[in-house]
Structure 1
Amino acid sequence: MARIDLNKDIKVADMQAVLSAIRSEAAVHGLRLELAPNEDNVWIIRPAPQKTESTSKGALQ
C-alpha cells in the first residue's frame, strides 16, 4: 500500500473508493465506522455504535 504524505493536500478523484478502503481497513481490525458528509459536505468518520447482544431474558452479558 502506498504511503500518504499528510503534510501535503490530498486530492481525491473517487471518494466512494476511498470510503470503501477505509471501511475495509477498519473491518480488518474489527472496527465498524460511520461515514457521512455533514451539511458543509465535509466527511465525518467516527466509530459506529457497538451492537449489544441480549440473552433470552433481555439482560446484557
Structure 2
Amino acid sequence: MYRLYPQYNNWSAAAEEWDGFCEALKECWRGIPAKLIKRLIMSMPQRLHAVRRARGWQTKY
C-alpha cells in the first residue's frame, strides 16, 4: 500500500483523510490475485502445524 500510496506513509488519521485511506486500502486488496489468496488459505494447515512443532517460536513462514 505504501508503495502505491506514499501519501499515507505518515498520515494523521484525520477524518477527512480516512475515506481516501479506506478506498486506497480496498484498491490494494482488490489487486491481490485470487489465486494467491487461495494458495495462502490452503497452506494454513501446514503453517499451523509448523507453529505447533516450533512451540510457538519462529518458523520458516
Could you state the TM-score of these two structures normalised by the residue count of structure 1?
A: 0.31
Q: Which has the higher helix share?
A: 2
Structure with greater proportional strand content: 1
Normalised TM-score (structure 2) = 0.31
